[in-house]
Structure 1
Amino acid sequence: MKTIYEFSVKDRKGQDVSLRAYANEVVLIVNTATKCGFTPQYDELEKLYEKYHAEGFEVLDFPCNQFGQQAPGTDESIHEFCKLTFGTKFSRFKKVKVNGEDADPLFKFLKEQKGFAGWDMEHPIAHILDDMLSKEDPDYKEKSDIKWNFTKFLVNKKGQVVARFEPTEKIENIEKQIVELLKA
């Protein structure tokens, strides 16, 4: 079975990073944006990181400008914004594309492993996203493409993708699964 360990990505300075460096850790991979309604999730991600990092938990942040051009700027300016505004300490990588033919190979793999997980319709932005995406493509829910910023993929200690969370998912639900994987 293929794992994330077979991929290398670019850090924000353009250096290759093998995801093998995260072997035996629970990893949450997130496509992010700095000018999105979900951007405050950086706070929640940082809290999870601080709470569980010592137990073997990592957050891997991949800025993406494909959704409403909400991740403008350079890799360094995005990093500085996140550090100063949200105090993030987790790893941030080079801006990527997550959908389309030129999508980063890691994200192509992630989407092959876990398709669209559905919106939490109690979230105030869920109906807006559903309406907008339904107008663009009535069958969007059937496709594995990433729908918006702050989609999250949870990876176990063996490098296998075990869950996908859409940006409307409550952080408590994600945390429960992280804790289970850390104990495994």
Structure 2
Amino acid sequence: MSAAVGDGPTTMDATNLATLYDLPTLDWGTITAGLDAGFPQAPGSGGPNRHSSWLTTLDADGGPHVTGIGALWVDGTFWFETGERTRKGRNLARDPRCALSLATEKFDLVVRGTAEQVTDPATVARMAAHWAEDWPCRVDDSGTALTADFSAPSAGRPPWHVYRIVAESATALSIAPGGATTWRF
């Protein structure tokens, strides 16, 4: 079953990847609580020195394209923004399958699924408010995308479209006490 991670799927398959070391299956609630607590980008605020989030999309030849992004975790799912002319934007328009990876102090996480472009003005405005806590973005004149005076070079020129990742699976590696688990939603 595919769902936004936070949609509360009725079934969730967990596979313990650390049975070789007699480590327990990780708890998805512990992972989401860590995400809910936030993962700031400032140096010294995450693992190993700060968090890093990376988006992998598929090039036309099927090869992976990996790029750093400023992902947000809101309402139990990951969100990101990009211009439609960027490589990742063009890749997602052709094939929405993607993976997001994140390193925090307590765990590393990879979420696989599809990216859905969100154009609902109320949702875009709500997400703009979240990004504006650390980056002075705003909703553009269309009401369906973002603009700002500056952004990461990899985001391309505005407008920047908002995407939500609809997760199919997630794999976490716990730093301490240890363990690794894959969940299928």
Specify the TM-score bucket, using the shorter chain as the normaliser.
Answer: under 0.3
Q: Mark the structure with the bigger radius of gyration.
A: 2
The structure where strand makes up a greater share of residues is: 2
**TM-score, normalised relative to structure 2:** 0.27
The structure where helix makes up a greater share of residues is: 1
